[in-house]
Structure 1
Amino acid sequence: MDKALYVAMTGARATLQAQGTVSHNLANADTAGFKAALANTEAFPVRGPGYASRTAALHIDQGFDARVGAQQVTGNPLDVSLQADRWLAVQAPDGEQAYTRAGNLSLTPNGQLVTAGGHPLLDPQGNPITLPPHQSLDIGQDGTISIVPLGEGAATMAVVGRIKVVAAGQEQLTRGLDGLMRQADPQQPLAQAPGAVMATGALEQSNVDAAGALVQMIQLQRQFEMQVKVISRGDDNAQSANTLLRLSGG
């Protein structure tokens, strides 16, 4: 009976972990450029002495949903929407290079270009981008940044930098605990994406299906309740069996 209890327990644990993934997706349903996390379970045979009759449930991380989210036109020159499989290169809190599709950019008081999360954008050389004082700014489709300096006319617009945008498929990236993507294989650096990589004045929304996620939460809750009942029934059966053994021994 203890075997059934342990198997049901692993299923309940995997269900709780899946609920955590779905909750995280729902919390980011309004986060620009967010990619829904995917989770699943797989059978895991329990190894050890004796007959191989036990199979536990194991929660596995299946990466993220790479589909492009809905587009929202904002007209803000600092909002960018990336083409499919294109990622902005940013500086992560640990100083390493990471990637995001969150295109709602902003400028700090000292002119540094950052994401909504405060992560500095990088240029093709891997340096944080800082812009000089200007009266207007334009980000081209290839990521080039042009400004009109303070006190100058539109004819004096000059290119002052370029945003690093890399090309990477779903299998080349893994999500970190800080929500940023990183290379799945550090030995294979991601290259600068050529040509038009973005549109300005628009934002990519989260690709989380909020209604579908809510339905999934309900299904997982019912599944968890069923697994808890199996554990409870197994415990009741074990107590009944122990009682019968004591009576027969008496």
Structure 2
Amino acid sequence: MNQAMWISKTGLHAQEAKLQAIANNIANVNTVGYKRDRVVFEDLFYRIQIEPGAQLDDNRVSPTGLQLGTGTRVVGTQKLFTDGDAKTTNEQYDVAIEGQGFLQVELPDGQTAYTRAGQLQPGPEGILATAQGMPLVPEITIPEGTSRVTIGADGRVTARSAIDDSTNELGQLELASFVNPAGLRALGNNLYRETEASGPPTEGAPGTNGMGTLRQGALENSNVEVVEEMTEMMTAHRVYEMNTKVLSAADNMLQQLAQVA
């Protein structure tokens, strides 16, 4: 295959991956706590025909050499964990994390997952859980006859009784942070799981040891900027088109060469 055709093919695959990430970002613009994806590329190996600094003759060396690239490839995707804007909902069980950290939840298999989506609700037994019904870790139970629940910026959860108007502390919401949150494995359902790349979680109360704080009655919007994504989409589309033109031009050159031969 003509080398230019191969290089163009790698460019097409790269832009296809970028468009897929952009499409996913735009699709999740209204997903609570969603973090946008960024595709990471690298250039492929080079065919070195003349080494930089190689001796050309007795008096000359090559200042740059002759190095021909062979294309590009996708090496990874990266979640960008910048904060999304907090949207006020005035719902007592909604919490937005302002700063670093994740809420911890227990999966059906007993393992722990992590989320930025603070749409919480008490389950049938009063256990505070996510919108998908996964209980928080550590567990907090809302007693019957509760008229109002208060979640402090430091994660302390208190309940006011509808019977005698007394206030009781129910427990402490904790956050978990990671050295490399971009290394977490995305599970879907607004959940992430620890990996070797993310490192182990550091747990603590909100507002301590670099952890963010909680804001009751609010939810964190996605950090997707629609205008930026649209700009990236148009750029990726143009680059894709240009690669197809190079592919077509290289094919025409091969046909012309075959006719001459």
Tell me the TM-score normalised to structure 1 length. 0.82
Name the structure 1 match of 2:59: none
**Take 1:139 and 1:65, find their aligned partners in 2: how far apart are those partners?**
27
Determine the structure 2 residue equivalent to 1:107.
122
- Supply the distance in 2 between the matched residues of 1:11 and 1:94 (Cα, whole angstroms): 41
| Amino-acid identity (%) | 30
Task: Identify which range, 102-111 or 68-77, moves more after superposition.
Answer: 102-111
When the two chains are superposed, the root-mean-square deviation of aligned CA atoms in Å is 2.7
Seen in structure 2, the aligned counterparts of structure 1 residues 236 and 95 have a Cα distance that, compared at 3 Å, is farther
Q: Are positions 1:191 and 2:203 aligned together? A: yes
Distance 1:72 1:230, change over 3 A: same
1:181 deviates by 2.6
**What corresponds to 1:134 in structure 2?**
145
User: Aligned in 2, Cα 1:194/1:73: closer, same or farther, shift over 3 Å?
Assistant: closer
Bigger drift between 80-89 and 107-116 goes to: 107-116
- Write the distance in 2 (CA, Å) between the matches of 1:234 and 1:208: 38
Distance change (3 Å), C-alpha of 1:194 and 1:108? closer
CA 4–77 in structure 1, closer or farther in 2 if over 3 Å, else same: same
**Cα 1:187/1:40, change in 2 over 3 Å:** closer
Tell me which of 95, 102, 105 is aligned to 1:87.
102
Letter in 1 for 2:227: A
Shift, 1:223, TM fit: 0.9
Higher percent of residues as helix = 1
Deviations 1:17-67 (A, max 9, x none): 0111111111111112211112232112168xxx97442211133522222
Corresponding residue for residue 2 of structure 2: 2
Q: In the alignment, what sits opposite 1:248?
A: none
- What secondary structure is seen at the aligned counterpart in 1 of 2:154? coil
Aligned to 1:71: 86
In the alignment, the residues of structure 1 paired with residue 172 and residue 92 of structure 2 have an alpha-carbon distance, to the nearest angstrom, of 15
> Residue 136 of structure 2 aligns to a residue in which SS?
coil
2:37 aligned residue: 37
Counterpart residue number, 2:173: 163
8 A Cα contact 2:114 2:193, kept in partner = yes
Check conservation: 1:81, 1:200, Cα contact below 8 A. Answer: yes
Counterpart residue identity of residue 190, structure 1: T
Which residue of 1 is the match for residue 157 of structure 2? 145
Unaligned residue ranges in structure 2 (runs of 5+): 48-65
Residue 208 of structure 1 is aligned with which of 221, 224, 231? Answer: 224
Asked if the contact 1:69–1:206 (Cα under 8 Å) also holds between the matched residues in 2, the reply is yes
1:57 pairs, out of 56, 59, 72, with 72
Mapped to 1, the partners of 2:199 and 2:101 lie a distance apart of 19
**What is the Cα deviation at residue 77 of structure 1?**
0.7
Q: Which residue is equivalent to 2:249?
A: 233
Residue of structure 1 equivalent to 2:131: 116
Residues 239, 112 of structure 1: CA spacing in aligned structure 2 closer, same or farther, 3 A cutoff? Answer: farther
1:110–1:233 distance in 2 versus 1, CA, 3 Å:
farther
> Matched residues in 2 for 1:199 and 1:94: separation?
30
Gaps of 5+ in 1: 246-250
